[in-house]
Chain A
Amino acid sequence: MLLGIDVGGTHTDAVALEERGGCMETAASCKVPTDHDDLLGSVTAALREVLRDVDPARAVALNLSTTLSTNAIVEGKVEDVGVLVSAGPGIDPHLFMPCRHFYALDGYVDHRGNEVRALRGGQVREAVEACRKDGVRVFAAVGKFSTRHPRHERVMRNALCAVDGDEPCEAADFVTMGHELGGTLNFPRRVATAYYNCAVWRVFNEFAEAVKRSLDDLGLGHVRVNVLKADGGTMPLAESRRMPVQSIFSGPAASVMGIVALCDIVHDSVILDIGGTTTDIAVFADGAPLVEREGIDIGSLPTLVRALKVRSIGMGGDSAISVLADEVRVGPNRLGPSACHGGERPTLTDALNWVGESEVGDVEASRHALRDYAASHTMPAEVLAGRAVEYASRTIHRETRALVDEINAKPVYTIHELLEGKQVVPRKIYLMGGPAESMRGPLFERFKLSVEVPSDYAVANAIGAALTRTTWDLELFADTERNVMFIPSLSYRENIPSNYGLEQARRDAVNQLSMHLDAMGVKLDKDEAQITHASSFNMVKGFDMVGRNIRVRCQVRPGVTHRMGRV
């Protein structure tokens, strides 16, 4: 039995899924209100309720999606971080300093991973001392091009904390080294990501600790716990305690993975999750969700956190209807609940009630509110309702088109990609969320594409959470002139012979990926490891080839472990 919990903005959803004849079925599900001041309480309450009908002993895994880290950042409930960077020449690093305790140190590693200038010991010690004096306990150590050679980050770490690995250290509770965040090149994003990882580290770890204790209390001490990531995958709890930043914005990922579990998506498709205040739009190419090219923005800072490409627009069931001059609009503001739920201003949900697409809440209240509002703008109520629904579907359609265009306009780097480059052409729409059923007709009118609304869409997020598989990715970088191979996210460095080639690099990448997952307790099916990038460039000095510069990126594709049975 698999458990899934999605802590959302309004509700915390939980499901218990049982396998029957190769397919998963919902054994129990529930929704409890989310208490933002007590997320653990919400999780525990949801678990208690869902376990009323099933046997806790049968549960093997719990996948958890939580807004904890996101909220901590958005609400500024983070702790002070000491950020040490070695930037070398280029854009002044002070232009993107994320916090007060920021120290740009003299030192320079170039794009091949050569140390051009070493760090100055005295300067490092001074920075560390200054942080300590202010009581800073968590640190980010980030170097430019540290993904090619992490020496400077190691030096900084050693200056901060004399012990190895996870042993407790007197001077620092936690240190994030930039290269552990992955192989992607982008120094400002690496700085921001390492900063956030430290800033939420304590609050996330206290939560993780508490969840563990709650599970013991509920008789679920034996259960494997995974935490959802924004890229549509999970990570084991132990991993998440080291990389809490990866748990941000996992909500949209849970709902997208829910659709994947509930529907058999094979074509280029669009997923629309129409919630109360927003609609999340995601795009699939050949049945696979698309991810952000570099990473997601948190607050005002772009990061390296991999995330599904999801665009949120201010258009949901509770979006208020307004009339400007002669134009009827919906959203982007939410001015209270829909009239059918006791609000005053009519909303999209009320309009859908009027046009007969749905019967949500008190339909008569919807009609009443629409009539009043229409009258105040000297407009027949049916015109107001009709135009509101039309406006909503038009907006969703336009934004979806814009997103697809943006994806298709992404830069390419080879002739092959450019001339034979794939264009995403959506053939199907999948709808979920509160107003999903009632928006089916209007959206079909707009898109002229088949629209599917899966059953169980009300708790699809939790189902998505429960069934999301563990993902991981790594980048391998080899330089045969310098005889070194390096995998930044694993801090793995190996000497290689001069004849090391692309094929070997591919094999090594897959092997290292599965070994790492193995160490995390996850069995990797070899087919699930996917090489997403592989290149080898001859390096030439004068007119002689002196070596090869090899880059391989390898990932476990985001996906679900099981599909839901057809109901």
Chain B
Amino acid sequence: MLKADKSLGIIFFPAFDWAISPTHPEREERLLYTQDQLREEGIFDIEGIDEYKPSVASVEDVERVHFCFPDVPSVATRSHMVSAGGAIRAAELVMSGEKERAFAMVRPPGHHAMKVVHGSRGFCNINIEAVMLEHIRARHGRKRVAIVDTDCHHGDGTQDVYWHDPDTLFISMHQDGRTLYPGSGFPEELGGPWARGRNLNIPLPPGTSDEGFLAVMERVVMPILEDFGADLVINSAGQDNHFSDPITNMNLSAQGYARMNEMLAPDIAVLEGGYAIQGALPYVNLGLCLAMSGMDYSGVREPDFTPDSVHQEKRITEYIDRLCDVMPELYFNPPAFDGSEKAREGVISAGWFVRHKDIYYDVDNISEAQTEMVRECPDCRGTVRVETRSTNNPLCLGVEVPADACDACRDEGYRILEEAQLKGGFRYIQFINRRDDEVVRHGF
């Protein structure tokens, strides 16, 4: 009987009864053929590889990460809670040592969900990686974590959630935002003033294939990971870079995905996008499962695979080559934060970092305007204050006291909360004190 080199827990939650709409790419059928392929290959009969039931994330799990308006149940369906719960289950398997690695093959995905949530963006409502990660941190303490997002779309939600967190290294490789949703994810987006270089975006030109991705892995991602020295490496394993994906323009193959995953050797992988549900997902997921369990994946091939399907033009190779030369610098020597008035990244004013954001929720057609403020503090990460209004909700407030908050920042958090309650003007207020694990909701 076959035995895995690395024990692997697979959480499979295909949400066979949930879809955005009957013909939407994010629909019931999405993981059907992946399930067929894994079963037919006999993956779960391999010693060391086991399938587990997902947990269900609690409202508290979500509120540790997001300000949801008007509240968590209004923005996250039960399917979202199970999907996030699947990621949590994966993390628990690894943290408890029951499995060396875990892969949460769940849907719906989450990496476009930002800190504040009014609805669904890019098929995402809550950020399942972030919900998982903060669950880990709440249980197992402060951890240095690297999230490498290999989805074809920029992981703008995860970027936003961890923008100010120096303990979380977020690297997103994606199709250049000038050519694909959500239109963000450029190298100059490097993280907040106190977490510079902890957010790295590697935009790749349409047509990038295995060769280009592997070059970036080898020359950019791996040296940075080595330096960062994460306690935990997470792969946001989106699969829409595949050459057959209908909504993107990249040329990665199942072999390329498996090889990337093998190099990365993540402790936990969480499925994100991927909409070539017949011709790619079954093979990419099989490749990832084999790579994660340290098994031979060389026999995994897509039916329509030809050398042509992953051909990379010379000019793309040259472009990526130049990118690989300059990208590491952004991590090792990030340019200082430009807090001047004209900077789009925000300003520092009266001891607070302040930035304004306009966010569009494409799935739900919601527009949001928000002002995010972070207290400038030499002793901790600083209390966060977010004012937000959207076409769905009147003015709302979110306040977060970080886990490592100093007394001054904690007191400031409570002062903001009290003032907001007294003065009114906010329809809903969500307050989370990560230091003492206290949550206050107001206005419901």
Contact = CB atoms under 8 A, between A and B. Distances in A.
B50 to A, nearest CB: 10
Contact of B53 (A186, A302, A418): A418
B333 interface: no
A411 B51 contact: yes
B364 interface: no
B16 A92 contact: no
Interface string B1-24: 110000000001111111000111
Interface string B292-309: 000110011111000000
Contact of B282 (A111, A114, A544): A111
Given A187-B41, A418-B54, A543 B12 contact: no
A327 B16 CA distance: 50
A188 B1 CA distance: 10
Interface in A531-545: 535, 537-540, 542-545
Contact of B12 (A90, A95, A294, A413): A413
A519 interface: no
B40 interface: yes
A415 interface: yes
Interface stretch (B28-36, B184-192, B199-207, B404-412): B28-36
Contacts of A418: 13, 53-54, 56, 82
A91 B41 contact: yes
Nearest to A409: B53
Interface in A415-447: 415-416, 418-419
A238 to B, nearest CB: 30
B79 A415 contact: yes
Contacts of A410: 53
B113 to A, nearest CB: 19
Q: Max chain A CB contacts within 10 Å: which of B41, B79, B283?
A: B41
Contacts of A95: 2
Nearest to B33: A111
A549 interface: yes
Interface residues on B, range: 35 or more
A562 to B, nearest CB: 38
Nearest to B29: A537
Interface string A64-108: 000000000000000000000000011110011000000000001
B97 interface: no
A294 B41 CA distance: 13
Contacts of A294: 45
A110 interface: yes
B22 A409 contact: no
B310 to A, nearest CB: 15
B394 interface: no
A544 B23 contact: yes
B27 interface: yes
A302 B45 contact: yes
Contacts of B12: 411, 413
A301 B1 contact: yes
A189 interface: yes
A95 B298 CA distance: 13
A91 B40 contact: no
A535 B24 CA distance: 19
7 contacts: A89-B300, A90-B40, A108-B303, A415-B78, A540-B22, A540-B25, A544-B23
Given A111-B33, A409-B52, A411-B53, 16 more contacts: A89-B300, A89-B301, A91-B41, A110-B303, A186-B39, A188-B41, A302-B1, A414-B15, A414-B17, A415-B78, A418-B54, A540-B25, A540-B29, A542-B246, A545-B22, A545-B23
